[in-house]
Chains A and B, each alone.
Chain A
Amino acid sequence: MDVCPSLTAQDFKSGVKPIWCPGCGDYSVLTALTKAFAELNQPRESFALISGIGCSSRLPAYTSVYGLHGLHGRALAVATGVKLARPDLTVIAAGGDGDGLSIGGNHFLHACRRNVDLTYILMDNQVYGMTKGQASPTTDPDWRDSKLTPEGTGISPVAPLHLALASGVSFFARGFAGNPNELARLIVAAVRHPGFAIVHVLSPCVTFRPEQREWKNAVHQTDAEPSDTPEHALARFATDDGFTTGILFADNRPAFMPPRHERMSPAAIARRFGTGA
């Protein structure tokens, strides 16, 4: 792969028209991501963008990098396979709160533990947008606007930050779709972090959670240094309101990559089955 003359954010867009509703936070995530690609200054073909299913998971088709739009919940598993097979690629997974924390919750937990050098953009709108407005694992228990749970879910939401810290994540940043410049910086930092790095994006669903338009008044940037131990981070964010943006946690654990040796041929291995071997 040659290093090519600097590409702009625009060069990283595919030109395919998104299916998103006007005003959806995901447009800004696309903008921030393409800015981050440009900032990283790598050729297009060095990136792989892997997603699951949901409004947010439509992201790859709108970029000009290699992508895989797979199954609901399985983005992290696919991304892990890509990275382990091809450590030279920069691998980014993206998807929604339902995709990543509900149907894909097990992969979230194990991706944190496994600490493969991946970036995961978790686009959280506290709802299943694509299936037209059901509660997700991050939805508050008293949200009553879903036909499926008209009395509210009555169950407490998960906090992605706490879940990730408890599972052994190596980097955690939070951004807001309404601030794509900060978000682009966070994505770049996450990609540069060697290990499993989550960028939790508050990305409003204007259609099924119109009240999320108010998030712009709730978010607040932190200027504190990132915590570097889970204990510190858990204590610091024990009462976090969920709207603190910035890099909240980063450790310097080595990323997981199984060793590769190439000292035998398959034919030599086959000979071990022979008599006297």
Chain B
Amino acid sequence: MDVEVLDLPAPAVAVPGATGSVSVALVGSGGAGSMRAGEILLEAAAEAGLFGLMTRAMGPQIRGGEAAALLRIATTPVSSPDDHLDLLVALDWSNFVSFAAEIPLGPDSLVLADPAEGDAPGAVRASGARLLALPLKQLLRTVPGGHGNMIGLGAAATLIGLDAAVILRVLRHQLGRKGEAVLAANAASLSLGAEAMAAEPPLCRLATSDGAARWTISGNQATGLGALQAGVRFVAAYPITPATEVLEWLAPALAETGGVLVQAEDELAAINMTIGASFAGTPSLTATSGPGLALMVEALGLAVASEMPLVVVDVMRGGPSTGIPTKSEQTDLNIAVYGLHGDAPHLVLAPNSIADCLFTTHWAVTLAEQLQTPALVLSDQALGQSRAVIAPPAPLPQAAARLTAAPQEGGYLRYALTESGVSPMAIPGTPGGAYVADGLEHSERGTPSAQAAAHHAQLDKRAHKLALHDFAPHWADIEGEGEIGLLTWGSVTGAAREAAARARARGIRVRLISLRLLLPAQPSHMAAALAGLRGVLVVEQSHGRQFHKYLRSHYDLPPAVSVLSRPGPLPIRPAEILDQLLAWE
């Protein structure tokens, strides 16, 4: 077996112009409004019928810290940030160094900055990027009530060939309520930025298609929406970065759809509340990140043993411990798959794009309800806190309902041994259905039992119901044919997808396999997916290569396996994956 483990240094900078897209970053201190400008630019892309992705790099400050909005805008759906930036607009250079490593500049990048802010930081100068003056302070003096971020936005839009009228439309929509004066000052700032770049040749001109329907959504919002559309009507919440927006989005959405969100005193309460609500018959969910998931693990075991449907969304961040709360990593795979004590079959799923947060969370709720067991959804900061412009998602399938028990005349067996392993669940209020849901091992009726036969029978039941379910075709996304496989999961799939596309454009045939279902493992489906592959490149964002070890323990891999893994927070770029594929050819 040929296992080659590659530790990669910081991302390499690739050839620009490899794809039909443009990448822009807006950076500045907290008050400078770089995020706001980025959001408007993304919204304008949606208005223009383009596609886009906006990730963010943040300093550790709660408020007033530095921030970078990193956008990629394209004529086709965007799956990943690009390898390099085409344009960086610096509203100021305050604390730029704290996230400089996440701002990929190269000799082909253009950097706009105000000379009044002083010299560009060393990292910027060392990149060889071309520097161009945008005298923000000076220009601001000419518009009363003007905004530096809008000047920067006007300049950026002009350079990437985005029509100012579209941006004005977005501004009018968002600021309309604030009155004409506010709108006028913003519009004037935009024009100043545009005029300042009038003499510069545009970096690109993206073919817009005005009127094409688009959605702008973050991964955390898509997760919330997937849950809502699957019928979740109870959520217990304890805030934690980067999962809080899932909960904050769901709070009013649940209130409007007859559901309830309650803020719990801690994660122990949050998951136990969802167990209570699910016992009472309501599809239930909680969302957290690594530290919260660690607190919830005991209760996940209770949900397995008592066969209680529920969903826990874990928006992963850098770990262990408090780790890096604001940055992404794929390192809760081990705790999600192996964290429960006892033999505790459960579901672990992972969305592999922002749009897929909607589908996968919806599927997780459906599976949990159908199979009466907890489902963990491993999203991450890179998906959750990024926003994308996507085509309106396909309608979601009808969510499967829980198998419930009709009124009983007596002799109801909550944990009856059925062929499918799923037994009808009596919901409180159902006459004759009273039983005790129990984390103690139990008989079919639900009464505690420490007998070997009862334990074995119930272990079999809980394992069988997952083993017998057909998870095809959604267990994985399998794209393309060839002798080389790219085996990945979660947010890293975006970069892998783009790398595969670039490889194909060069005539290298690649099969991408991105696992959406991590537990229960699907050995026969995987064997079919791997058939004919000479080797696979495993791609993951983890120092301990958790995914590679997971694959080794559940699947037979082809003879040649290579691993591209790196911990967060630096994203894995398409070019790095492509380089590995090229090295294999």
Contact = CB atoms under 8 A, between A and B. Distances in A.
B448 interface: yes
A68 B426 CA distance: 13
Interface residues of A, number: 56
Interface in A67-90: 67-71, 73-74, 77-86, 88-89
Contact of B280 (A69, A81, A260): A81
Interface string A240-277: 00000000000000000011111111110110011110
Interface in B448-500: 448
A243 B265 CA distance: 31
A171 B310 CA distance: 32
B447 A74 contact: no
B8 to A, nearest CB: 36
A265 to B, nearest CB: 7
B265 A67 contact: no
Given A64-B434, A66-B428, A69-B439, A258 B262 contact: yes
A180 interface: no
A273 B262 contact: no
B423 to A, nearest CB: 16
A16 interface: yes
B215 A81 contact: no
Contacts of A263: 256
Contacts of B264: 77
A66 B215 contact: no
A198 interface: no
Binding site secondary structure of chain A: mixed
A213 interface: no
A50 interface: yes
A185 interface: no
B422 interface: no
B260 A67 contact: no
Contact of A270 (B173, B229, B265, B447): B229
A258 B284 contact: no
A14 B445 CA distance: 12
Nearest to B430: A45
B275 A78 contact: yes
Contact of A70 (B215, B272, B426, B433): B272
B313 interface: no
B80 interface: no
A81 B434 contact: no
A146 to B, nearest CB: 25
Interface string B246-272: 000000010111111110111011101
A269 B392 CA distance: 14
Nearest to A62: B436
Contacts of A43: 431
A55 interface: no
B101 interface: no
A82 to B, nearest CB: 4
Contact of A86 (B214, B275, B280, B432): B280
Nearest to A104: B268
B563 to A, nearest CB: 37
Interface in A98-118: 106-107, 109-110
Nearest to B262: A84
- Could you say which of B47, B282, B426 has the most chain A C-beta atoms within 10 Å of its C-beta? B282
Contact of A71 (B259, B280, B302): B302
Interface in A33-53: 43-48, 50
A48 B430 CA distance: 12
Contacts of B259: 260
B429 A107 contact: no
B271 to A, nearest CB: 8
B277 A82 contact: yes
Contacts of A61: 436, 438, 447-448
Given A110-B265, A266-B229, A274-B215, A81 B257 contact: no
A249 to B, nearest CB: 22
Interface in A5-46: 14, 16, 43-46
Contacts of A107: 265, 268-269
A264 B257 CA distance: 5
A51 B175 CA distance: 52
B276 interface: yes
Contact of B277 (A84, A106, A275): A84
B360 interface: no
A83 B428 CA distance: 11
Nearest to A51: B436
Contacts of A47: 428
A254 B444 CA distance: 41
A65 interface: yes
A70 B439 contact: yes
A67 B228 CA distance: 28
Given A82-B276, A260-B260, A261-B256, A269 B228 contact: yes
Contacts of B257: 262, 264-266, 269
Contacts of B306: 68, 70
B229 to A, nearest CB: 5
B269 A110 contact: yes
A81 B236 contact: yes
Contacts of B275: 68, 70, 78, 81
B398 to A, nearest CB: 13
A250 B167 CA distance: 60
B268 to A, nearest CB: 6
B216 interface: yes
B383 to A, nearest CB: 16
A84 B234 contact: yes
Nearest to A16: B447
Contacts of B258: 260-262
Contacts of B277: 81-82, 84-86
Contacts of A77: 264, 268-270, 272-273, 276
Contacts of A267: 229
B406 interface: no
A238 interface: no
A274 B428 contact: no
Nearest to A48: B428
Contact of A106 (B253, B266, B298, B434): B266
19 contacts: A48-B428, A50-B276, A68-B276, A69-B438, A70-B437, A70-B439, A71-B302, A78-B273, A81-B277, A82-B280, A83-B276, A85-B234, A265-B257, A266-B228, A269-B225, A269-B257, A273-B225, A275-B46, A275-B47
